[in-house]
Every structure is written in C-alpha cells, then in structure tokens.
Amino acid sequence: MTTPASILSILNFSHIYEEERFYQHERIHWIDCTDLSGTDGFCDEKAAREIRKRISLEPVRSIHFIDSGNYHYITRFWIEKILAPFSLVVFDHHSDMQKPLFSDLLSCGDWILDSLKKLPLLKKVILVGLSKEQETKIPSEFQNRVLCVDSSHLNLSEAQFSELCGRFPIYISIDKDVLSKKVVNTSWDQGIMSLSQLREMLAFLLRHREILGIDICGECPDCIEFLKSISQNDRINLSLLKFLESLET
C-alpha cells in the first residue's frame, strides 16, 4: 500500500473520537458525521447519499477509522469505489451476512451480504475470527465466495493464510470485536483473538499482498460508564496505527 498513512480519514458519528488522542500527531481528514440521522446500526438512503458525498474525494488507499461496530457498513462505501477485481479480508467476530430486515436499508449486520450481491468486482471474502454460530449465517449461495477462519482456528501458517487470500489485491476491514475482552472492550460480544495474532496476519498481508485500503471500527460507546474502555480503545487504535505504518513500503 503506497504511503497510506500520509493522511488518515476519521469518520466521526458518535463523538467518540473527540475523546481519543491516537491521531493527534497524524495528518488527518476529519469527516464529521455527527449531524446525520438514520445512521446508527442502519443506514437509510438519505444518509447513505450524504456519506458517499462526504467521502467522495477521499482516497480508498488509506487508513480509515469509522467509529463503532454500529457503523461497519461504512466499509461498503469504501469498497464500492474500487475499480478492479479484489478480495475483502474482514477481521470480525460476526459474519455481517444476516438477511436484511428492510430491503432499502443497509446495516452493520448485512453489509457484506449486500456487497457480495451488488459488487461484481468483489471476488472473495475472507472472514477471520468469527464464531462458529456466525459461520452458519452465511447463505449457501455465497459459500463458494466466502472463506472462514473461525475463532478456534486462528493459528494458521503463512502458507495456509496465503492460500485463503488468493491472488487478488486486498481491502482489509478490522472490527476490534474480533479481539478478546482482555485486550479491549467494544461493548459487543467479542472473540478470543490476541493483539499479536491480529498483528501477525496483518504483517503477512502488508508484506505479501497489494493492499487497496484499510478501515478500523469497534469503538465503545461515548458515555461515562465506558471511560476505561475509551482509554483502552485509544491505546489499541494507536498501537494498530503505528504497527501498520511500520509495515508500509
């Protein structure tokens, strides 16, 4: 990925990033979305149009922080800007492939399914760290395009991981709920991945694959009960950012 961290994009929906400091010494594009309604968990058509407008000039080939897991559907708006065949590697404890409750609303629970249906350039999705229960939510019609590494099989060799990822350039999406609660608290149910396991897989991808872009979500709620968790998330964001920057070429 060519100099992705020269500028970060930060999409602030919940005000949570105003309480964090990990980005202070970076060049950032601050995209304030706190004025938008119809965005929390679900994204209505009006909000989707406005979000697309606000990120229209932002490069995909960068590192994007996209708020809590309630806004993970934002990844859909980044990857639809990719103009050549690609694979999507998602670190997440959930499949995000539930059948939509409302056909006209994109949600944090169905955005991968929507992407597979509507983005022909998306050739493969690799889901890393999901629960076995979540694996059963993948519709059979997409099982030939979706590969899963559930939370009980995280210690893959580089050869195994390489085979899973295939030959296409890759977009990476990280939901911190893939990590153990011992590492960070996202307020969602979480996986068991350690930070070192996540780093090992990210290091392999950045060293051996063309990376089209990266986004990170999984912030905790911005409220007084989560003050400790906000500090944890800030530290993990900084750790991931510095780690990714150290791997750039």
Number of domains forming the structure of the chain:
1
The DSSP bridge pattern shows strands 63-65 and 211-217 to be parallel
**Nearest Cα to Cα of residue 48 among 9, 68, 78, 69:** 78
CATH number at residue 84: 3.40.800.10
**Pairwise CA distance, residues 97 & 55, whole Å:** 24
Under the banding of pLDDT at 50, 70 and 90, the label for residue 6 is low
Query: Which comes out higher in pLDDT, residue 105 or 22?
Result: 22
What is the mean predicted confidence (pLDDT) over 157-166? 87
Note down the domain range covering 195: 4-247
**Pairwise CA distance, residues 72 & 151, whole Å:** 20
- Per-residue model confidence (pLDDT) at position 5: 44
Under the banding of pLDDT at 50, 70 and 90, the label for residue 236 is very high
Mean pLDDT of the chain: 92
**Percent of the chain at pLDDT exceeding 70:** 96
**Percent of the chain at pLDDT exceeding 90:** 75
- Per-residue model confidence (pLDDT) at position 1: 47
The pLDDT of residue 249 is above 60: no
Contact 210, 196 (CB under 8 A): no
